[in-house]
Structure 1
Amino acid sequence: MKCSMANYDIIGDIHGHAGELRALLDELGYGRHGRGYRHAERKVVFVGDFVDRGPAIGEVVAIARAMVDAGDALAVMGNHEYNAIAFHTRRPGNPSSGKTSEWFRPHSQKNLRQHQATLDQMSPDELADAIGWFQTLPVAIEVGGIRVAHASWQTRDIDCIHEALANVGRFTPEFLAMSEDAGSDLNAAIENVLKGPELGLPAGYWIVDKAGHRRDSARIKWYEDGTGRTFRQHHLGSGEVPDLAIEGSDLAAVETYPAGAVPVFVGHYWLTGTPMPLAANVACTDYSVAKGGKLVAYRWDGEAELRAEKFCWVSEGARH
């Protein structure tokens, strides 16, 4: 999706924290407009992950959707929106017996825990309506002078997703059957763009992620060359990662974002501390509002080199 040049405020993962979203929009100079917010000279770009975890998920979806519908914002899909679609979509041909295998995202205890706040706060009709909206969201956008995707910009993978959407429909059961096939190119593309490129750790090594899950792979700095680095040096996010050498062949499938490319904005990574660019042309706006952190925006005004002073945020618990 491509749009013309404008001034944009790129807002990170919200996860149902409507009070913080209202406070941040107020801080950025947006005023109420219907169910959403509007600025006379700027637009918002949401990086996805509207649902799960927070106390006011329905309100977050309503604000974001109203702003997109009114032309006051753009939004890309997060992995939690993709997961919600898969969680609520049955595999074709299976009887309604309640087995977890009937759903594209199994209704396991782990997946239920992640999605429970959304199930508790939204009625079946509200959730079905939201899922319909999620299915319309792009996975990546080019907005004049910037690019936005939830977890990483991988051109080949974005093209792969766009081709599948055009061929079988927007996140239809046919699309999900392809994207949930662990051996498919589309599965790898969804993982890379919505969850971030990962490298498998050497046999016998594992890490514990922010949600407390044990993982045998680590997310990497896809905007830097990992040649000659260890997993700890090349890891993107927080947490302890083994200081072990990365095999060069493991990096071959990852597209390193070029240093001279237009600025790209992502969310997803649960960063902490004071917001700052990850590279001269890369910024993450997810600073863990759902884990006691901050809801963050980057105020982009056409600059090719991103700057720390352009970040704006409110702390978790802010209420306007």
Structure 2
Amino acid sequence: MIIDVIGDIHGYADKLIGLLKQLGYVHNGQYFVPPSGHRALFIGDLIDRGSQQIATLETVFAMLDADVADAVMGNHEYNALAFATLDPSDTLDLSDTYSANDINSNSSQQYLRSHNEIHIRQHEAFLAEVPFGSDSHQYWLQRLYELPLWLETEYACFVHACWDVDSMAILKPLLTDDNCLTLQGLIATSKEDSVPFDALERVLKGVETPLPNGIVMIDKEGTKRTRVRVRWWLDELNKRTIHEVARAPASALAQIPIDVLAENIDFALKTHKPVFVGHYWLTGTPEPLSLQVACTDYSAAVDSGYMTCYQLDTEQPLPLKASNFVQHLHD
């Protein structure tokens, strides 16, 4: 079996369809049928940014419903759920079980993900097609709940940002048996400075290390950051400098002394299987991140980026090979 691991789509249905056709998938009037011996796997971040949100969701979920594909949740799907869910913490007992109606009848107007200017801007492409509170909005939110936070098979591991089994163990009691979020799980993981919040951040956004005191970075969304994302797939993270491990532009790292070590990176990759992720906005010619980790996000959400797939042979998952990547060169 060949698993076509497809990177972040972000509402660019035309790029996705171009890649599927390039891979030999054929639309039968209802969904894209894979070539014999193939199955698709979407690595998360289906939504936001692009102008074809519903077309993307319809394409992906038609394949999921036909059981010719799998998918995991990305941080943008998680954010969409939190953005649409009122915070019940002031009026409901969080130890109880309750429904979405209980939450949304709450008099509080504070949402689990705040409706500030940055969050609205990040989500505006989705809400332009799926108006907030509409029947369509409610339908797609329920479908997003169907996406597991991670998938593990006998031959590989699939997660949006980081395969951290310690964080997954923390999250597991908040999930369904097949690793999908519950409403209680969404609420628990949205509380900043909590153990569930930090665990969810690891799985869907990656591993971070503190910046030296007094140093702040401004990310592409305009948010001030006192921590920087790191390349967790490298060995001996705590023995390397921030410059060696950081996932940040050189211009942003210029303010950090070259010899400052990364600190407090409590992470180890605890699997011998290959791990597939998205999330990281890579550019250039695709190649594995390490002997064990491959990313299929090559910035398809910008004009210069390409929808990217890794074709995983389940009979011989390792070694990872650059030749197994396929890109749809839309231009």
One-letter identity of the residue aligned with 1:199: T
Identity percentage over the alignment? 35
| Residue 200 of structure 1: aligned partner | 210
Q: 1:237 to 1:275 in 2, by over 3 A?
A: farther
Alignment RMSD: 2.1
Q: Is the 8 A contact 2:174 2:181 kept in 1?
A: no
Q: Is the 8 A contact 2:118 2:221 kept in 1?
A: no
Q: For residue 283 of structure 2, give the secondary structure of its aligned residue in structure 1.
A: coil
One-letter identity of the residue aligned with 1:30: Y
| Residue 27 of structure 1: aligned partner | 22
Matching of residues 6-17 of structure 1 within 5 Å = 6-17=1-12
| Residue 3 of structure 1: aligned partner | none
The Cα of 1:206 is off from its aligned counterpart by 2.2
1:291 to 289, 302, 305: 302
Q: Does structure 1 residue 280 correspond to structure 2 residue 287? A: no
One-letter identity of the residue aligned with 1:306: L
The Cα of 1:74 is off from its aligned counterpart by 0.4
| Residue 229 of structure 1: aligned partner | 240
Matching of residues 196-275 of structure 1 within 5 Å = 196-224=206-234, 225-236=236-247, 238-239=249-250, 240-241=252-253, 242=256, 243-248=258-263, 250-251=264-265, 253-254=266-267, 256-257=268-269, 261-275=272-286
Q: For residue 158 of structure 1, give the secondary structure of its aligned residue in structure 2.
A: helix
Q: Is the 8 A contact 2:162 2:207 kept in 1?
A: yes
One-letter identity of the residue aligned with 1:228: K
Q: Is the 8 A contact 1:238 1:271 kept in 2?
A: no
Q: Is the 8 A contact 2:297 2:308 kept in 1?
A: yes
The Cα of 1:170 is off from its aligned counterpart by 5.3
Q: Does structure 1 residue 143 correspond to structure 2 residue 163? A: no
Give, in whole Å, the separation in 2 of the partners of 1:173 and 1:30.
35
Q: Is the 8 A contact 1:237 1:270 kept in 2?
A: no
Q: For residue 113 of structure 2, give the secondary structure of its aligned residue in structure 1.
A: coil
Q: For residue 51 of structure 2, give the secondary structure of its aligned residue in structure 1.
A: coil
Structure 1: 5+ residue runs without aligned partners? Answer: 1-5
1:170-222 per-residue CA deviation (whole Å, 9 max, x = no partner) reads 54443233112223221111000000011111111122323343322111111
| Residue 311 of structure 1: aligned partner | 325
Q: 1:207 to 1:244 in 2, by over 3 A?
A: farther
> Number of residues paired by the alignment?
305
Q: Is the 8 A contact 1:90 1:173 kept in 2?
A: no
Q: Does structure 1 residue 73 correspond to structure 2 residue 49? A: no
The Cα of 1:104 is off from its aligned counterpart by 0.5
Give, in whole Å, the separation in 2 of the partners of 1:233 and 1:35.
47
1:218-257 per-residue CA deviation (whole Å, 9 max, x = no partner) reads 1111122213211110013545323352255x12x22x22
1:154-175 per-residue CA deviation (whole Å, 9 max, x = no partner) reads 01111222221249x9544432
